[in-house]
A and B are shown apart, each in its own frame.
Chain A
């Protein structure tokens, strides 16, 4: 309880230790909880903030020249034939559906309401005036999907000082097909002379008084709009209430569009995990990475630490969901790619010269993104022998090889579906 300067080691036991707090790690915790498995979650929660808020299952189909995908269920079903090594190819579509439904239900209950996975992808707007196919969006973005689909009278609002988001840009690019789209600029009261961060504005809108002032400013430029879009600033902790209240004050459906980082929907997700997951029963060690995993016949021991000192987690099963390069799940050395925590073999191009094509931003992706670890049918990572590295070890997320989550727009889908299966397999081992 109290301490001198000597580091104090704490230890606890759990049935499942999830390593990594990206979408896959978060999803794994959810599925564990849903199955009554005691679960701990450790990782640098900071990277969660990079997520856009969209939950993509599959937006482009790689094997058909990255064609746009309208029906992601059909697309993932086709993987079995078209791309059998893809991590989603081995998963029943029904399971993917369940996984998405359960994931969305859980986070909706934690304060960020999402649309339920539908039969087709939604088409959502981007902050630069392009559109994006995705499966689920936060409800705070949904009116934008509708407005775009119906090409209704819509005004995009941007804020003086909020860089990287221009209503003019959105209208210039979407306008040709959407004549009733226009834009307006607002100077946010009280934020006259500064660079505005969406996070700051979003938090001020959690206060009723501030909402009233903001609503007045919006109403002045709303005109006869049927929908009003803006950068993602509709509250942080309670976006649904913030949106509902502002809609009540303004009288028109509102929607938000994610911005470039630092973007609010990602920060919301992070704070949601840190706020709610402990309440729901997850033992959360936020903002700390697992530094070592030792696997034995009886248990797995994971090592991490905080300001206080070392923390030892004794777990019956481990789900490795450490992500890729941003989060450190994979490390790119000068000549090869490593998995740093367990030194699992990484399937990868032969040389660094093959990691990237010559052209960066084209339809076709880069082979470096398809590097990753191999797993068997029960999502146990394989060792160099080609056999599972350990009975207690499972893996999920974009850490897995044979998928280009970036070009396929399938990051969340891979994370959620593989986490679902990994937890299912671990549950079997646990007898749950």
Chain B
């Protein structure tokens, strides 16, 4: 009986084929800025500089088999700090894909399998009809018990809606009331939006597993769903990698997308500026301090500074400029928290927490009470390391705070607020 083994690939050749001209491993000055700035440095005695050198020294067996490739979240911070712009994470992605499925971290593989098991593309395997049911069920309850929202919609499969909104599976599966704040926001601003029963899910573990064809398939289903409904904008929920996997894939695989790709933060900022979301910081009478987590997938790897700026505008409007403390470093230079890349599903808890120590220190240095983030993985990871390292901060999504500020946050929509805010009664202002 033969055990599956990992094929040995030639990393030097891979680097030659993947890295742009002039930015190859040849240009590396071995200065170590990458390793110095990488939270995965030290795990498995590996770091980005060693990765490059091992590739150049022909240590293909070691690189092909090291579990470090599951601990590098491909956050691209190495490239960001490199004076030569060398991107080591590109090779890590391929190294992952090279592992036989049986040997990949089970949790990530399973999530990808589940995503492909129904038309939902949900990594928790929630089929379309169940998703539809949960949405309807929760909507009904809100209409009944929150009179302000008795005519609120949560459209499903609405042809020609302007916004196609995706949904991270976590909410409908385990915390369905957490979907509601966003519905309220759409309702308030009069957004013409819809969910789709097909291809509705946000998360994409197929990319994390390094499985290019599965990644493509999942995105294809989603793109088709948007195309089918004829929506103008695919609006990404507060989930980091879901934005990146969509944006990157359409480009990479040359897919035909008859819509633009955008994200909630950008629209929050716009709606606040337009006065459609009249948030303010009056509710923050306790002067609670907030910081913000720049998800790698949206900021450094995608939009860059502009969405980071929008995020800060939104935060400052929400909590008061003086109550916002930026993490250091931030924006494109921010550290990955360690929640991405499938780390939360990989079963490598000790390593993930080691990785997350830098994030914990960043948050601790701000002494903030709350971390705001538009990313589910960041959210989960920062909560976990907070508990592990004895932090005293809470992690919330933007929608929660927006609704709180407007005085429309329902009783059951407060699960991530700390005790001082969970009970806070803010008068409804809209």
The short answer to whether A and B are in direct contact, CB under 8 Å, is yes
Q: Are A262 and B333 in contact (CB under 8 A)?
A: no
| Residue A326 lies at the interface, judged by CB distance under 8 Å to chain B | yes
| Residue B32 lies at the interface, judged by CB distance under 8 Å to chain A | yes
Residues of B within 8 A of A203 (CB): 328, 358, 361-362, 365
CB of B359 to closest CB in A, whole Å: 11
| Residue B198 lies at the interface, judged by CB distance under 8 Å to chain A | no
| Residue B346 lies at the interface, judged by CB distance under 8 Å to chain A | no
Q: A200-B358, A307-B301 are in contact. Are A2 and B33 (CB under 8 A)?
A: no
CB of A418 to closest CB in B, whole Å: 22
Q: Are B328 and A197 in contact (CB under 8 A)?
A: no
29 CB-based A-B contacts, threshold 8 Å? A1-B262, A2-B263, A2-B266, A3-B262, A4-B257, A5-B251, A46-B80, A46-B81, A195-B42, A197-B36, A199-B37, A200-B358, A203-B358, A204-B361, A207-B361, A207-B365, A209-B364, A210-B361, A210-B364, A236-B329, A238-B328, A261-B32, A262-B35, A271-B333, A274-B329, A275-B328, A306-B304, A308-B306, A326-B29
Known: A197-B32, A208-B367. 18 other contacts (CB 8 A): A1-B262, A1-B270, A3-B262, A5-B247, A46-B33, A46-B84, A199-B36, A199-B37, A200-B36, A237-B328, A237-B329, A267-B36, A274-B329, A274-B331, A278-B305, A284-B305, A287-B80, A308-B306
Contacting residues of chain A (189-230) with chain B, CB-CB under 8 angstroms:
194-195, 197-200, 203-204, 206-210
| Residue B303 lies at the interface, judged by CB distance under 8 Å to chain A | yes
User: A280-315 interface mask toward B, CB cutoff 8 Å, 1 = contact, 0 = none?
Assistant: 000010110000000000000000001110000000
| Residue B166 lies at the interface, judged by CB distance under 8 Å to chain A | no
In-complex Cβ contact of B260 among A3, A200, A308 (8 A): A3
| Residue B286 lies at the interface, judged by CB distance under 8 Å to chain A | no
CB of B303 to closest CB in A, whole Å: 7
Interchain CA distance A274-B247 in the complex, whole Å: 26
Interchain CA distance A194-B44 in the complex, whole Å: 10
| Residue A14 lies at the interface, judged by CB distance under 8 Å to chain B | no
Q: Are A274 and B333 in contact (CB under 8 A)?
A: yes
Count of chain B residues near A, Cβ 8 A? 46
Count of chain A residues near B, Cβ 8 A? 41
Q: Are B266 and A1 in contact (CB under 8 A)?
A: yes
Q: Are A275 and B31 in contact (CB under 8 A)?
A: no
In-complex Cβ contact of B302 among A209, A271, A307 (8 A): A307
Residues of A within 8 A of B333 (CB): 271, 274
| Residue B82 lies at the interface, judged by CB distance under 8 Å to chain A | yes
Interchain CA distance A236-B303 in the complex, whole Å: 26
| Residue B183 lies at the interface, judged by CB distance under 8 Å to chain A | no
| Residue B74 lies at the interface, judged by CB distance under 8 Å to chain A | no
Which residue of chain A has its CB nearest to the CB of B327? A237
| Residue A49 lies at the interface, judged by CB distance under 8 Å to chain B | yes
| Residue A378 lies at the interface, judged by CB distance under 8 Å to chain B | no
Which B residues are closer than 8 A to A by beta carbons? 29, 31-33, 35-37, 41-42, 80-85, 233, 247, 250-251, 257, 259-263, 266, 270, 301-306, 326, 328-333, 358, 361-362, 364-365, 367
Residues of B within 8 A of A4 (CB): 250, 257, 259-261
| Residue A38 lies at the interface, judged by CB distance under 8 Å to chain B | no
Interchain CA distance A278-B332 in the complex, whole Å: 14
Q: A199-B36, A200-B36, A237-B329 are in contact. Are A50 and B83 (CB under 8 A)?
A: yes
| Residue A327 lies at the interface, judged by CB distance under 8 Å to chain B | yes
Q: Are B329 and A46 in contact (CB under 8 A)?
A: no
| Residue A47 lies at the interface, judged by CB distance under 8 Å to chain B | yes
Residues of A within 8 A of B302 (CB): 307
Interchain CA distance A3-B33 in the complex, whole Å: 32
Q: Are A275 and B83 in contact (CB under 8 A)?
A: no
| Residue A44 lies at the interface, judged by CB distance under 8 Å to chain B | yes
In-complex Cβ contact of A275 among B260, B329, B361 (8 A): B329
Interchain CA distance A208-B42 in the complex, whole Å: 24
Q: A2-B233, A5-B247, A46-B84 are in contact. Are A262 and B259 (CB under 8 A)?
A: no
Which A residues are closer than 8 A to B by beta carbons? 1-5, 44, 46-47, 49-50, 194-195, 197-200, 203-204, 206-210, 236-238, 261-262, 267, 271, 274-275, 278, 284, 286-287, 306-308, 326-327
Q: Are A261 and B33 in contact (CB under 8 A)?
A: yes
Q: Are B304 and A307 in contact (CB under 8 A)?
A: yes
In this complex, the member of B29, B33, B251, B260 whose beta carbon has the largest number of chain A beta carbons within 10 angstroms is B33
In-complex Cβ contact of B85 among A3, A44, A262, A308 (8 A): A44
Q: Are B83 and A49 in contact (CB under 8 A)?
A: yes
Residues of B within 8 A of A238 (CB): 328
Interchain CA distance A209-B357 in the complex, whole Å: 14
Residues of A within 8 A of B301 (CB): 307
CB of A258 to closest CB in B, whole Å: 14
Q: Can you list the 6 inter-chain pairs with the closest CB atoms, starting with the nearest?
A: A2-B262, A46-B83, A237-B328, A262-B36, A197-B36, A206-B365
Residues of B within 8 A of A197 (CB): 32, 35-36, 41
Q: A5-B251, A47-B83, A210-B361 are in contact. Are A275 and B257 (CB under 8 A)?
A: no
Interchain CA distance A204-B39 in the complex, whole Å: 12
Residues of B within 8 A of A207 (CB): 361, 364-365
Residues of A within 8 A of B33 (CB): 46, 49, 261-262, 267
Which residue of chain B has its CB nearest to the CB of A1? B266
Q: Are B261 and A3 in contact (CB under 8 A)?
A: yes
Interchain CA distance A278-B35 in the complex, whole Å: 27
Which residue of chain B has its CB nearest to the CB of A46? B83
Interchain CA distance A44-B80 in the complex, whole Å: 9
CB of B226 to closest CB in A, whole Å: 11
Interchain CA distance A234-B7 in the complex, whole Å: 45
Q: Are A2 and B331 in contact (CB under 8 A)?
A: no
Interchain CA distance A275-B175 in the complex, whole Å: 37
Residues of B within 8 A of A267 (CB): 33, 36-37
In-complex Cβ contact of A271 among B85, B247, B305, B329 (8 A): B329
Which residue of chain A has its CB nearest to the CB of B43? A194
Interchain CA distance A274-B302 in the complex, whole Å: 18
In-complex Cβ contact of A46 among B85, B263, B304, B331 (8 A): B85
In-complex Cβ contact of A287 among B257, B262, B326, B332 (8 A): B332
Q: Are B31 and A262 in contact (CB under 8 A)?
A: yes
CB of A249 to closest CB in B, whole Å: 16
Residues of B within 8 A of A275 (CB): 326, 328-330
In this complex, the member of B257, B260, B266 whose beta carbon has the largest number of chain A beta carbons within 10 angstroms is B260
Residues of B within 8 A of A2 (CB): 233, 260-263, 266
